[in-house]
Amino acid sequence: VTSWLVNGQRDGHLSPADRGLAYGDGLFETIALRAGRLRFLDYHFDRLVAGCKRLGIPAPDCSQLTRELEASRQDCRDGTAKIIITRGLGPRGYRPPEVVAPTRLVSVTAADSSAAQAWSSGIRVRLCTTSLSENSALAGMKTLNRLEQVMARAEWRTPDIAEGLMMTEAGHVVCGTQSNLFLVRHGTLLTPPVDRCGVSGVMRRVILEEACRLGIAVQTPVVTVAALAMATELFVSNSLQGIGPIVRWNDESRATGELTRSLMAALVQRGVQECAGD
């Protein structure tokens, strides 16, 4: 059972008129709680605060959020923390209120045995038919508008497929339903840009930092399905699972590549134990 702090109140009231519910007018963060620590919390705050600025929502007080996350955690050491910030209440209609009082929701869910299968030993992915829309005004942010991901994730139920890759209508492969995408080609690490659609992932940021530290060349080109087929290594990433090497794709099997392995080892050093494998 997950309990929520609503504007600091345990299981407080959320109005049906909240703009987060009515219009998806807000942002969220999903944070890994590991061994009692909220992993990369500062990076999650960076994305949240930057998103609030772009949307014109007053930025939350990060020390207050940290206190509320710690209070929600109680003695839980491993699980998933979530923050939702909305533009709060407003009169009927899309027009944002002159004075915004954001709504702040915080929760921690303990990890349980039904948690998603570990990604580190390699995952199978599919290509989704639901497409991603491009909109540079929203790109990169983790907004509450996730219908594209919901529809894409509804495309399959087989548990052996861990993730679905998503494309724009122009055929550019951008990300997974809940992850960022990386390719390796000629020793260069490639990841699609997230300036027209997609989420600027926290784990993507950590991976790019580690690639830089390891002296790996990085590029952010537009990626097509043909480019996926030519890649020597493929993997996805997110905050909760670290790196998921794509080992089955298009009925073709492949082993986890060298460069992926070195990035996974670097992530273990950054506290992403999931990348250590079983």
Ligand X SMILES: Cc1ncc(COP(=O)(O)O)c(C=O)c1O
- Binding residues for ligand X, rule: CB under 6 A, are 30, 149, 175, 178-180, 199, 201-204, 237-239
Residue nearest to ligand X (CB): 201
Instruction: Identify whether the C-beta of residue 177 lies closer than 8 Å to the C-beta of residue 244.
Output: no
Number of C-beta neighbours around residue 46 at 10 A: 15
Using CA atoms, how far apart are residues 203 and 206, in angstroms rounded to an integer? 5
86 vs 100, which CB is nearer to ligand X?
86
| 3-state DSSP of the chain | CCCEEECCEECCCCCCCCHHHHHCCEEEEEEEEECCEECCHHHHHHHHHHHHHHHCCCCCCHHHHHHHHHHHHCCCCCEEEEEEEECCCCCCCCCCCCCCCCEEEEEEEECCCCCCCCCCCCEEEEECCCCECCCCCCCECCECCCHHHHHHHCCCCCCCEEEEEEEECCCCEEEECCEEEEEEECCEEECCCCCCCCECCHHHHHHHHHHHHCCCCEECCCCCHHHHHHCCEEEEEECCCEEEEEEEECCEECCCCHHHHHHHHHHHHCCCHHHHCC
199 vs 234, which CB is nearer to ligand X?
199
